[in-house]
């Protein structure tokens, strides 16, 4: 169902715990039918995903255990925006905190609504070049490894279906298609 002509007559939070907030809207159709739509509401203003690319086309991948899928996954740096932060400010903060990297050249790589059938989330993608290094600032218990991988090798992994993080695979293929992996600056 699409519900573009339905009117929301009541909206309430049905569940909220940790990072999961469920909203339920009661909807009224032009013909007078009534139903409800149950969906996730982001607890933050959005998320940011950063693809950092070094001068010699190496990418710092985050390797971390993901509890819901009970396995280790390669991801890109990223995380939730804080209230009042712009996507770019959040991207700079998350990159520094998770990897200790500071980047001088930033370029947008699209904004996406993952799982738009049942989630309000917006994810903002960035390419970061001009990398230099400072100290990581991990949260207590945050247990992530950074593994540098050449862009060429990462693309091989994607084409062989050896990655399983959609955001990582998208960002690298986007950077390739946009020409950011041809050795030129952003």
In the complex, minimum distance from the CB of residue 129 to its own copies, in angstroms, rounded to a whole number: 17
Per-position DSSP letters for 73-91, written without gaps between them: EEE-SEEEPPTT--HHHHH
**135 lines the binding site for its own copies (CB under 8 A):** no
Question: Which residue among 7, 10, 113, 153 contacts its own copies (CB under 8 A)?
Answer: 113
The tokens describing 177, both together, are 């298609």
Beta-ladder partners of 38? 24
CB nearer to its own copies: give 65 or 133. 65
Site for its own copies in 18-77 (CB under 8 A): 18-20, 22, 24-25, 36-41, 64-69, 72-73, 75
**183 lines the binding site for its own copies (CB under 8 A):** no
Question: In angstroms, what CA-CA distances link 155 with 24, 54, 75, 171, 180?
Answer: 40, 16, 14, 11, 13
Strand, helix or coil for residue 4: coil
**178 lines the binding site for its own copies (CB under 8 A):** yes
CA distance 176 to 23: 38
Count of residues engaged in binding its own copies, rule: CB under 8 A = 64
Per-position DSSP letters for 55-70, written without gaps between them: TTSEEEEEEEEEGGGT
Footprint on this chain of its own copies (rule: CB under 8 A) = 1-4, 14-15, 17-20, 22, 24-25, 36-41, 64-69, 72-73, 75, 108-120, 122-123, 139, 141-144, 155, 158-159, 161, 163-167, 169-170, 173-174, 176-178
């Amino acid at each position: 169902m699409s519900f573009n002509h339905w009117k929301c007559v009541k909206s309430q939070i049905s569940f909220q715990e940790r990072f999961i907030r469920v909203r339920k809207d009661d909807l009224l159709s032009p013909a007078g039918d009534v139903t409800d739509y149950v969906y996730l509401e982001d607890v933050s203003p959005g998320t940011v995903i950063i693809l950092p690319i070094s001068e010699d086309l190496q990418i710092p991948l985050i390797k971390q255990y993901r509890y819901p899928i009970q396995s280790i996954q390669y991801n890109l740096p990223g995380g939730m925006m804080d209230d009042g932060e712009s996507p770019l400010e959040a991207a700079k903060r998350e990159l520094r905190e998770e990897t200790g990297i500071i980047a001088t050249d930033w370029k947008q790589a699209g904004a996406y609504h993952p799982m738009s059938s049942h989630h309000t989330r917006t994810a903002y993608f960035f390419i970061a070049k001009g990398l230099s290094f400072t100290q990581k600032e991990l949260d207590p218990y945050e247990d992530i490894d950074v593994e540098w991988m050449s862009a060429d090798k990462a693309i091989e992994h994607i084409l062989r279906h050896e990655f399983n993080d959609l955001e990582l695979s998208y960002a690298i293929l986007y950077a390739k298609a946009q020409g950011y992996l041809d050795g030129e600056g952003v």
